Chains A and B, each alone.
Chain A
Amino acid sequence: MILLSQGAEAKIYEVNKDTLLKERVKKNYRLTEIDEYLRKTRTKNEVSLLKRAKSVGVSVPNVYDLEKYSFKMDYIKGIVLRDYIPKIDEKRLVQIFKIVGKQINLLHKENIVHGDLTTSNMIVDGDKVYFIDFSLGSVSSKIEDKAVDLHLIKQALIAKHNNVWEKCMKIIISSYKNKLVIERLKSVEKRGRKKQ
């Protein structure tokens, strides 16, 4: 198997041209009990959220073969949004972020919180934006959790795409239906930022 990517917590291997394997690697810095618990629950959690997201119509890869610390999924032949943003014009940017916004809205409407909404965890393939990496996600109806999710994507946009983040965020917010969550976002920001 070819190693495609080594992220902070997982390795992605190419099993064949249509299939990837995602395996959570052992972290030597943390206690074995914590390490095994996190890898096991996150793998299981990620698979179950991917299935749930698929079932409500969000673009995500199909998943198969769940093991203790790994699972397989469809290989999406696209470009990671983080690398795509610098390459596109404004019209395409608007188009893409409308889709991103719609999908976040849909996830939250179905009480799926992603937990790691960054542009590295979205893959653009034609007219679809696939969401991946639900490893820190959860099922939750809490306004707070959803607001933190929005805070994460905002933070990621500011950090990585500083010249367009305001435009992107505006589009996401305008596709987002739950006003209570948007209200809460403000207080999440204040709370975090106050600590500086």
Chain B
Amino acid sequence: MIVLGIESTAHTFSASILDDSDILSLESDMFTTIKGGLIPRDVAEHHINVCGRIIQAALEKANKKITDVELISFSQSPGIGTCLEIGALCAKALSQIHNIPIVGVNHCIAHLEIARLLTGFSDPVMLYTSGANTQVIAYQEGRYRVFGETLDMGVGNFLDQFGRLLKLGFPAGKKIEELAKKGSKYIELPYSVKGMDVSFGGLFTNLSRMFEKYKVEDLCFSVEETVFAELVEVTERALAHCMKNELVVTGGVGCNARLQEMCNIMCKDRLASFKPLPAKFAVDNAAMIAWAGILKYNVQKKSDSDLTINQRTRTEQVEVTWR
């Protein structure tokens, strides 16, 4: 089945063509600003400007015409309202014009499903670390459930804010990673794990008071070591608690080599398996939306009746009909 996926929950507008589990194309355009931060109106305008070109490019790269498409899948929740609207609008318009079945999928669950597809893991715990999201998710009793999450900001946003403090530009994750490799002296920082949850607000406040006293490289090194240790700790707790032995890491921060290394060591030590994802499928992308759509459609065999977007759907709320 030829499927068009459309992703537009936040800064990235993306389109992808799948032929069942074969990913034929993936085209994306990410909205960035020098200062960072997302103004909903500006991101939406970006999406309006690129949507036609991106969808067209995805079709061309896949050597398909829109009339070849047998299913359209779009990110329906959660995300920034104005951004979700654009993807939903594109999907609905194409569906109506060409009479193509249409389904909406949950963005967080799509991350997990593409991770399962690409790693071959059947029942992994997922550490999902993007800008706004920091969650540990696992499948239990018929649903994807959040076992741990940030109590304040997402780890990506934390790193970007820390980067702004050091004037590293936006997004700062990659630069922090490079600088951290040159650091060696550990600076003691507050460590904040509460049960299976983490928080970064206190650490940021602490850093903003004292960062000028230290070498940038040592700061980046110590921040990475502290924050990633927290993430890996709560992830290990979820693995132990759910008695699972597979781990995937996804989201932009999941591309960090040190975080992947720490996950790998943790898993080895507890005889679990770990696989990282290729970067383009770890960040927001439409291939995962297409794939999650296929899974859903294969079970229900008809279009969704409710196509309204939802900014705040919780992962637990989504009915998982395909597992």
Say yes or no: A8 contacts B147, CB within 8 Å. Answer: no
Q: Name which residue of chain B comes closest to A82, CB basis.
A: B241
Say yes or no: A195 contacts B133, CB within 8 Å. Answer: yes
Say yes or no: B194 contacts A136, CB within 8 Å. Answer: yes
Q: Is B30 located at the chain interface by the 8 A CB criterion?
A: no
Q: Is A162 located at the chain interface by the 8 A CB criterion?
A: yes
Instruction: Give the secondary structure class of B's interface.
Output: mixed
Q: Is A28 located at the chain interface by the 8 A CB criterion?
A: yes
CB neighbors of A among B132-161 (8 A): 132-135, 140-141, 143, 145-147, 149-154
* Total number of B residues with any Cβ neighbor in A under 8 Å: 47
Say yes or no: A118 contacts B229, CB within 8 Å. Answer: no
CB neighbors of B among A112-163 (8 A): 115-118, 120, 136, 148, 151-152, 155-156, 158-160, 162
Q: Name which residue of chain B comes closest to A188, CB basis.
A: B151
Q: Is A31 located at the chain interface by the 8 A CB criterion?
A: yes
Q: Is B120 located at the chain interface by the 8 A CB criterion?
A: no
* C-alpha gap A181/B225 in the complex (Å): 33
* C-alpha gap A173/B111 in the complex (Å): 35
Q: Is B165 located at the chain interface by the 8 A CB criterion?
A: no
* Total number of A residues with any Cβ neighbor in B under 8 Å: 34
Q: Which residues of B contact A38 (CB under 8 A)?
A: 191
Looking at A155, A162, A192, A196, which has the most chain B CB atoms within 10 Å of its CB? A196
Q: Is B56 located at the chain interface by the 8 A CB criterion?
A: no
* C-alpha gap A7/B133 in the complex (Å): 27
* C-alpha gap A117/B196 in the complex (Å): 10
Interface string of B233-272 (1 = CB under 8 A from A): 1001101110000000000000000000111011001000
Q: Which residues of A contact B196 (CB under 8 A)?
A: 152, 155
Q: Is B108 located at the chain interface by the 8 A CB criterion?
A: yes
Looking at A115, A136, A159, which has the most chain B CB atoms within 10 Å of its CB? A159
Count the A-B residue pairs with Cβ separation under 8 angstroms: how many?
105
* C-alpha gap A7/B237 in the complex (Å): 8
Q: Which residues of A contact B151 (CB under 8 A)?
A: 148, 188, 191-192
Q: Is A87 located at the chain interface by the 8 A CB criterion?
A: no
Say yes or no: B134 contacts A195, CB within 8 Å. Answer: yes
Say yes or no: B132 contacts A31, CB within 8 Å. Answer: no
Q: Which residues of B contact A136 (CB under 8 A)?
A: 193-195
Q: Which residues of B contact A179 (CB under 8 A)?
A: none
Q: Name which residue of chain B comes closest to A33, CB basis.
A: B186
Q: Which residues of B contact A33 (CB under 8 A)?
A: 186, 188
Q: Which residues of A contact B316 (CB under 8 A)?
A: 158
29 of the cross-chain contacts (CB-CB < 8 Å) are A8-B233, A8-B236, A8-B240, A8-B241, A9-B236, A28-B266, A29-B229, A29-B269, A30-B225, A30-B229, A30-B233, A31-B186, A115-B194, A115-B195, A116-B195, A148-B151, A148-B197, A152-B195, A155-B196, A156-B195, A158-B145, A158-B316, A162-B141, A193-B314, A195-B133, A195-B150, A196-B313, A196-B314, A196-B315
Point out residues on A near B: beta carbons under 8 Å.
7-9, 27-31, 33-34, 37-38, 115-118, 120, 136, 148, 151-152, 155-156, 158-160, 162, 188, 191-196
A8-B240, A192-B197 known; 13 new pairs, CB 8 Å cut-off, are A8-B233, A8-B236, A9-B233, A27-B229, A31-B186, A37-B188, A118-B241, A136-B194, A160-B140, A192-B149, A195-B135, A195-B153, A196-B108
The 10 lowest CB-CB distance pairs between A and B, nearest first, are: A29-B265, A8-B240, A30-B229, A29-B262, A152-B195, A8-B237, A29-B266, A116-B195, A8-B236, A31-B225
Point out residues on B near A: beta carbons under 8 Å.
78, 108, 132-135, 140-141, 143, 145-147, 149-154, 186, 188, 191, 193-197, 225-226, 229, 232-233, 236-237, 239-241, 261-263, 265-266, 269, 312-316
